[in-house]
């Protein structure tokens, strides 16, 4: 799943999808959202933009770090 800018993860990517497809991104998810995302049923449908809004975080920073981690794989 690569978008036009070459990034694999976007604001609309679900947190659950990232956890499932990119286990190497787990430290980034935990850093910004905490461990709760790994057991929360909402993570399957909530996207990065929504999670960032709920945690008062800039989604672009999260996306940048996740994409850096997963492209190093």
Domains of the chain, residue spans: 15-72
Confidence grade of residue 7 (pLDDT, cut at 50, 70, 90): low
Extended strands (E) in the chain: none
Cβ count within 10 A of residue 54: 11
**CA nearest to 12, candidates 3, 22, 24:** 3
What is the distance between the alpha carbons of residues 46 and 69, in angstroms, rounded to a whole number? 21
CA distance 14 to 34: 16
- The encoded tokens of residue 56 equal 């008062």
- State percent of the chain over pLDDT 90: 63
pTM to 2 decimals?
0.82
Higher pLDDT, 1 or 14: 14
């Amino acid at each position: 799943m690569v978008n036009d800018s070459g990034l694999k993860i976007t604001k609309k990517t679900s947190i659950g999808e990232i956890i499932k497809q990119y286990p190497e991104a787990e430290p980034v998810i935990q850093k910004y959202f905490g461990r709760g995302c790994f057991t929360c049923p909402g993570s399957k449908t909530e996207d990065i933009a929504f999670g960032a809004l709920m945690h008062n975080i800039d989604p672009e920073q999260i996306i940048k770090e996740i994409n850096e981690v997963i492209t190093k794989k």
